Chain A
Amino acid sequence: MEGAFKKRTSKAGVIVSARPETLSKATWLPALAKGLGVTMRHFFTNIATGKDIATIQYPEEKAPYPHRYRGLHRLMLRDDGSVRCVACMCCPTACPAHCITIVAEETGNANEKRPAIFEIDELRCVVCGLCVEACPCDAIRMDTGVHAHPTEKRFEAVLGKTDLMSRGAQSIATQGGKNDWRDTEKTP
């Protein structure tokens, strides 16, 4: 080990000189005392006040999530409680993980469809939030703040329409947009 500190020429012709071997470095005691001082300070501070302790006692106390944390998906509802989604296929198109499956069906209303099947495989989901950004009518959101739950079978992680709507709420956005898009352009 000592050899490593001697002055020598490296292969590239550079003269390598190490830090001088001082007594304090050779005995290791000053550095040891310094380190012991640090740990001792932490020990007594934490015993006396506990103010440095960073642990969160998880099941009892939980760290607040950031405001924009992306949790489990939910499907928003219309005023009458039916699903807000119009099965436009924007979200499965945007989804990089291909975890959204939508099968559309007729509503009887000539303007809109609705999803007959709306499934999200939470095991495939990469929680990127692109589906939420893609949605034109505020039908899908990831603002629940809830984790994907642990499951015993894989299929249990595939959430259907009922599951997704059970966390849903009414959106403040107007269903179907305002009037014509040309009208909104005229009114600033």
Chain B
Amino acid sequence: MGIILLFAIPAAAFAGMAVALVGVIGWVLPFVGSHSWGAWAMDPWFQALIKLALLILVVVMPIASLLTWMERKQSAMMQDRIGPNRAAVLGWRGWGIPHFVADALKMIFKEDFVPAKANRFLFTLAPLMAIVPVFVTFAIVPFGATACWSQMAHVVTDSQVAACTDKVVLQTAPGFDVGLIFYFAIASLAVYGTTLAGWASYNKWSLLGGLRASSQMMSYEVTMGLAILGAFLVYGTLEPQAMVIAQGPNPIDWGIVKQPLGAILFFTAAMAETKRTPFDLPEGENEVIGYFVEYSGMRFGIFFLAEFIEVVFLSAIMATVFLGGWQVPFLYTDGFHLGTHFLPVWHGIVLLLQTTAWGLKVILFCWFQLLVRWTMPRFRPDQLMNLGWKRLLPVSLANILVTAGVVLALEAWGR
């Protein structure tokens, strides 16, 4: 029963999410845009705004806030406990899900305390500096293929989609060439949030926590960038949508098969970026005091939420670069191809399946991050730096070298 629920509930949730995303972006926007009074709907700026808002409101925020529940429940299951199950909405306990509402209410109504000598402006700015970059980075995440409104109820091929006049790409910033470089650029801004929080609190311990956070995040950014370079070499592009298309629907071609070492290195380094448990010495909830020790109420809540959104984002990037993004195994644009067998599927259904698959991959990586977070003990600072600079960095450099060699060799021999 529990196992069935474990798979059925996320699948149903993400199918609904896919209906919302594909429905609004693939159907409503072109429908409005097809009228003379609604030409603004096809404006790329307006579309980007709608896509980002939908992505944040329909996918990211629900997952991030449910992750607070999932973390507590999953850790309970891993530790032979039951976990939260007391909060109830109108008597409905729902396996503890109402707890995240209770948590949010508590955060909002708690006293918003600012230390007497703290710099009020920076103190207020820091949580925003931590959370805004994580939202912005979602602009590059592709959550589906290209939707062609007039062909929704037909079986179409790639060339037909490309020729479509009212097509909408299911990605906030389509054709954004710098792609993942943008992610690295924006993600490194999040360091300012943590360091500012430590600095502005007028507290020695939070300052030290902020320093630990900045040293850790800067060290691991190097490895993170180098680890994913192998994937760039394999796909020949930086643009996430193009990377997903380059991976194709066959799981043999996905990044995790072609770049297993790169996947592990990137996942490790990016987990260090999210500052969660094996690498949580910047905040260290109970022993080493962290950079947000002076924060209370919703200001702390924003840091907390930013951390979970980072988890979702890391999962989205892992899914995009190493697990085929929105690709469903063996589902091509016109339907399922398996060997000589062919099952034609309508364009609209294909899009829904692909977006659902993307959501499930994201939640799979979220689950795996929580699993690691509740399995590993915390690193010491020296272990952390040793791991980052002496192990991950050389190995990622070697990974680039070997990958480049293999790519060159394959090109030279004409595949």
Contact = CB atoms under 8 A, between A and B. Distances in A.
Interface of A: 1-2, 26-27, 29, 32, 35-36, 38-40, 42-44, 46-50, 52-55, 57
Nearest to B83: A55
A53 B82 contact: yes
B386 A1 contact: yes
Interface string B347-385: 000000000000000000000000110111000001100
Contacts of B376: 32, 35
Given A1-B386, A35-B376, A46 B80 contact: yes
A39 B386 contact: no
B371 A53 contact: no
Interface of B: 1-3, 6, 74, 77-82, 264, 371-372, 374-376, 382-383, 386, 391
Would you list the 10 A-B pairs with minimal beta carbon distance, nearest first? A47-B2, A55-B82, A46-B77, A39-B78, A48-B3, A39-B375, A52-B80, A43-B77, A35-B375, A43-B78
Contact of B382 (A1, A29, A43, A52): A1
Given A1-B386, A32-B376, A36-B371, A47 B82 contact: no
B70 to A, nearest CB: 12
27 contacts: A1-B383, A1-B386, A26-B391, A32-B375, A32-B376, A35-B375, A35-B376, A38-B375, A39-B374, A43-B77, A43-B78, A43-B371, A44-B3, A46-B2, A46-B77, A46-B78, A46-B80, A47-B2, A47-B6, A48-B1, A48-B2, A53-B82, A54-B81, A55-B80, A55-B81, A55-B82, A57-B82
A43 B386 CA distance: 31
B80 A42 contact: yes
A49 B3 CA distance: 9
Which of B1, B79, B386, B391 gathers most chain A CB within 10 Å?
B79
The interface residues of chain B, by DSSP majority, are classed as helix
Contacts of B82: 53, 55, 57
B371 A40 contact: yes
Nearest to B387: A28
Contacts of A52: 80
A144 B2 CA distance: 40
Contacts of B80: 42, 46, 52-55
Contacts of B78: 39-40, 42-43, 46
A2 B383 CA distance: 10
Contacts of A53: 80-82
Contact of B372 (A26, A36, A38, A54): A36
Contacts of B74: 43
Contacts of A40: 78, 371
Contacts of B6: 47
Given A46-B80, A48-B1, A55-B81, 19 more contacts: A1-B383, A1-B386, A26-B391, A32-B376, A36-B371, A38-B375, A39-B374, A42-B77, A42-B78, A44-B3, A46-B77, A47-B2, A47-B6, A50-B2, A52-B80, A53-B80, A53-B82, A54-B80, A55-B80
Nearest to B74: A43
A43 B367 CA distance: 11
A42 B79 contact: yes
Contacts of B1: 48
Which of A2, A39, A42, A54 gathers most chain B CB within 10 Å?
A39
Contacts of A55: 80-82
B74 to A, nearest CB: 7
Contacts of A1: 382-383, 386
A174 B319 CA distance: 80
